[in-house]
């Protein structure tokens, strides 16, 4: 029966084998990928004019690594992402535990407020942070590195930790409460239960949340654009200033590095905790 079915003409619902659907799929894939693939390919092209293939070269990568501004910006981005990830994971884990575990007055309101960083338009959050860090808590710009990055780090934590909370809460949903009861019966107190039973279960969620926070921070342009100063340029802000006026192979090379980095990190995150990361990225509720 099975072998026969395989030979039979496509079933009525086998839309993937219908040519209009196939053609459309191919067109969409071309639309989505052609710009990115050509961008990456031309970062290896030995020509300034960027459009005709003149042979393979790594000189734009050498130029990228020799560009001290770009390297500084990249270092800033990594530092910001690292610090913001650590704090976001801690706050996100707390938020997830709070909402998963406890009943309290005003919980619905708090859930709504925690969802705000995900839904508020980036530009609004950007200007809010700009005003906050110039008028209310003027962040001293002459501070020693990396403390001069504080304003950017704080803004990044504010928009990341709700995403992290979604991922970790998704992981907690699969926790078997009987384990906790068993631990309690065996004499563990509240903290002991947390460290020995709940925390190990959370771990994949923590790692996935961390990777998500890291990529969110590394990728962010709009909010950083409003909180960065002349001495606190991040990689996307630097690339933006290069991109504004021209298309150059150096930018292609720098972009290729960032594409490879974020795609690799996200792939790892998805592998750890696929569905929850996907849910957080498409902004589905807390």
Partner 1 sequence: MTQSWSKAWGMFAVVFGPPVVWLAAFFLVPLAIIWAYSFGENTSLTQIGVTGTLANYAHAVRPLYLGIIWKSFWFAGLTTILCLVAGFPVAIAITFAREKTRVWLLLLIMLPFWTNLLIRTYALMAVLRDEGYINFALAFLWHSAGHVTAAFGHPLGAFRPLELLHNNFAVIFGLVYVQLPFMVLPLYAALDRLDRSLLEASLDLGHGHLGTFARVVIPLAIPGIVSGVLITFIPTIGAYLTPDLLGGPSSQMIANVIENQFKNANDWPFGAALSFLLMYMTFIAMAVQGVLSRDRRERQA
Q: Is the peptide bond before 145 cis (omega within 30 degrees of 0)?
A: no
Work out whether 255 is an interface residue with partner 1 (CB under 8 A).
yes
CB 219 within 8 A of CB 81: no
Q: How far is the CB of 94 from partner 1 (least distance, A)?
A: 4
Work out whether 179 is an interface residue with partner 1 (CB under 8 A).
no
Count of chain residues binding partner 1 (CB under 8 A):
92
Instruction: Single out the residue of 74, 150, 281, 286 in contact with partner 1 (rule: CB under 8 A).
Output: 281
Work out whether 36 is an interface residue with partner 1 (CB under 8 A).
yes
Using a 10 angstrom Cβ sphere, with 0-12 exposed, 13-18 middle and 19 or more buried, the burial of residue 124 is exposed
Q: How far is the CB of 28 from partner 1 (least distance, A)?
A: 5
CB 272 within 8 A of CB 204: yes
Instruction: Single out the residue of 89, 157, 210, 233 in contact with partner 1 (rule: CB under 8 A).
Output: 157
Work out whether 50 is an interface residue with partner 1 (CB under 8 A).
yes
CB 252 within 8 A of CB 42: yes
Instruction: Single out the residue of 4, 6, 7, 177 in contact with partner 1 (rule: CB under 8 A).
Output: 177
Of 134, 119, 114, the closest CA to residue 226 belongs to 134
Work out whether 266 is an interface residue with partner 1 (CB under 8 A).
yes
Q: What is the CA radius of gyration of the chain?
A: 24
Work out whether 29 is an interface residue with partner 1 (CB under 8 A).
yes
Please state the separation of Cα 274 from the chain's center in Å: 13
Q: How far is the CB of 259 from partner 1 (least distance, A)?
A: 5
Distance from C-alpha of 126 to C-alpha of 131, rounded to nearest angstrom: 9
User: In the block, which residue shows the tokens 């340029």?
Assistant: 233
Q: How far is the CB of 126 from partner 1 (least distance, A)?
A: 8
Work out whether 6 is an interface residue with partner 1 (CB under 8 A).
no
Work out whether 33 is an interface residue with partner 1 (CB under 8 A).
yes
Work out whether 13 is an interface residue with partner 1 (CB under 8 A).
yes
Work out whether 127 is an interface residue with partner 1 (CB under 8 A).
yes
Work out whether 22 is an interface residue with partner 1 (CB under 8 A).
yes
The contacts of residue 213 (CB under 8 Å, 6+ apart) are 81, 84, 85, 88, 89, 92, 160, 161, 163, 164
CB-CB neighbours of 194 under 10 Å: 16
Q: How far is the CB of 102 from partner 1 (least distance, A)?
A: 5
Instruction: Give the x/- contact pattern for partner 1 in 96-125, rule: CB under 8 A.
Output: -xx-xxxxx-----x--xx-xx-xxxxxxx
* Residue (57 or 266) nearer to partner 1, CB: 266
Name which of residues 70 to 99 contact partner 1 (CB under 8 A): 90-92, 94-95, 97-98
Work out whether 268 is an interface residue with partner 1 (CB under 8 A).
no
The contacts of residue 252 (CB under 8 Å, 6+ apart) are 39, 40, 42, 43, 50, 60
Work out whether 282 is an interface residue with partner 1 (CB under 8 A).
yes
């Amino acid at each position: 029966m099975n072998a026969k079915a395989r030979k039979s003409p496509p079933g009525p619902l086998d839309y993937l084998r219908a040519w209009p659907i196939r053609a459309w799929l191919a067109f969409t894939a071309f639309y989505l990928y052609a710009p990115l693939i050509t961008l990456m390919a031309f970062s290896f092209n030995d020509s300034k004019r960027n459009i005709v293939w003149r042979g393979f070269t790594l000189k734009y990568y050498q130029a990228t690594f020799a560009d001290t501004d770009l390297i500084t910006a990249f270092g800033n981005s990594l530092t910001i992402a690292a610090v913001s990830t650590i704090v976001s994971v801690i706050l996100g884990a707390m938020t997830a535990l709070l909402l998963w575990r406890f009943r309290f007055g005003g919980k619905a309101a708090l859930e709504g407020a925690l969802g705000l960083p995900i839904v508020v338009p980036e530009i609004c959050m950007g200007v809010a942070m700009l005003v906050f860090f110039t008028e209310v808590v003027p962040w001293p710009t002459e501070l020693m590195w990396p403390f001069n990055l504080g304003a950017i780090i704080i803004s990044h934590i504010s928009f990341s930790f709700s995403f992290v909370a979604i991922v970790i809460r998704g992981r907690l949903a699969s926790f078997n409460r009987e384990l906790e009861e068993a631990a309690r019966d065996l004499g563990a107190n509240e903290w002991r239960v947390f460290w020995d039973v709940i925390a190990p279960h959370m771990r994949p969620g923590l790692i996935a949340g961390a990777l998500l926070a890291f990529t969110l921070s590394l990728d962010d342009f709009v909010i950083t654009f409003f909180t960065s100063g002349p001495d606190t340029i991040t990689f996307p802000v630097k690339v933006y200033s290069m991109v504004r006026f021209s298309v150059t192979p150096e930018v292609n090379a720098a972009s290729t590095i960032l594409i490879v980095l974020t795609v690799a990190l996200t792939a790892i995150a998805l592998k750890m905790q696929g569905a929850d990361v996907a849910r957080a990225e498409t902004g589905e509720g807390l």
